[in-house]
Structure 1
């Protein structure tokens, strides 16, 4: 169910990469056209500011790394071209087995989708922070169930048909032009003997662990406090954080 070492090796290049919408508004303020960045531009921005991007940015970058490492891969997702769009990557091993690779949702490891019924109905750990997962496949889609320590269950689904590159890049541009007024950042961070999931959304933040959710102190209205908190979790440059968070505050007013 875990991917082979050569797929893991490429995936692990992104272990410290958050998924966020802060970069989206930062790019939006600087460009009038083609707001979806190239991989080379994303690398420049990462070196300069420590920033990554949203699910489209991460999927495009991961696809490029798989190509360099000679691993067959293609984009998948759901609601492509709409405000609800979400994308990930499917990587294939040498036997043609498919592995779901979702940096946008901050998975810990790719997971095998070509599974038998016993596997798909069982809960598995080690793939997603602070949750056991179930893989529920069908002919054209796969649904993932996330089982949290507090008994809550959430879902994500993917259409398994490969997205044509032209359609994928068109959807990426649509996504980069859609600025939702509530900032979002998710990242994987070490916590005791596990990798936990930290989330900043709509001016609140919390850590999801196998012990349950641990809410951070409220910092509503204190931009400098948010800058320091997010910087400590991600290493993002403070000037970048202050600029983007200020822009989001202006949208929210």
Structure 2
């Protein structure tokens, strides 16, 4: 299940509030606003920049994620904070468990299982 809504600000401009993906903050999707930009922006979605293309009632969101290794960020209302790099599955299991509240042992087993599928 995924939930997202369009909210209006005090000036009547539309903002996407993507609850399903847990965005950091709503993003302006109303191209009639003078502050609207179609350029990729940081600070809305963890570990990616997003660009909004708006035409009438239709909105398209494009995610611009950097290539390379998987990076971890703490996502807050104050912004995105990069975590230190990890080198082992055990470190990833600890980090994921701390952030998501998952059982660390189960998380490590899942990471090892999916690592085997990749090879």
Q: Which bin holds the TM-score, normalised by the shorter protein?
A: 0.5 to 0.7
Offset, 1:129: 5.4
- TM-score, normalised to structure 1's length? 0.32
1:118 match: secondary structure: coil
Aligned to 2:6: 91
Q: Is the 8 A contact 1:106 1:188 kept in 2?
A: no
Higher relative contact order (CA 8 A, sep 6+): 1
For residues 187 and 224 of structure 1, the distance between their equivalents in structure 2, rounded to whole angstroms, comes to 17
Instruction: Note the residue ranges of structure 2 that are not aligned, 5 or more in a row.
Output: none
1:218 match: secondary structure: coil
Aligned to 1:216: 85
Task: Please give the root-mean-square deviation of Cα atoms over the aligned residues, in Å.
Answer: 4.2
2:34 match: secondary structure: helix
Q: Which has the higher strand share?
A: 2
Deviations 1:135-178 (A, max 9, x none): 431136434577xxxxxxx38xxxxxxxxxxxxxxxxxxxxxxx
For residues 246 and 130 of structure 1, the distance between their equivalents in structure 2, rounded to whole angstroms, comes to 23
Q: Is the 8 A contact 1:106 1:187 kept in 2?
A: no
Q: Is the 8 A contact 2:47 2:72 kept in 1?
A: no
1:109 match: secondary structure: coil
Do the aligned partners of residues 196 and 136 (structure 1) sit closer, same or farther apart at CA in structure 2, a change above 3 Å counting?
Answer: same
Instruction: Note the residue ranges of structure 1 that are not aligned, 5 or more in a row.
Output: 1-56, 64-88, 147-153, 156-183, 198-206, 208-213
Offset, 1:241: 0.6
Aligned to 2:79: 195
2:105 match: secondary structure: helix
Q: How many pairs were matched up?
A: 112
Aligned to 1:108: 24
2:109 pairs with 1:246: no
Do the aligned partners of residues 118 and 131 (structure 1) sit closer, same or farther apart at CA in structure 2, a change above 3 Å counting?
Answer: farther
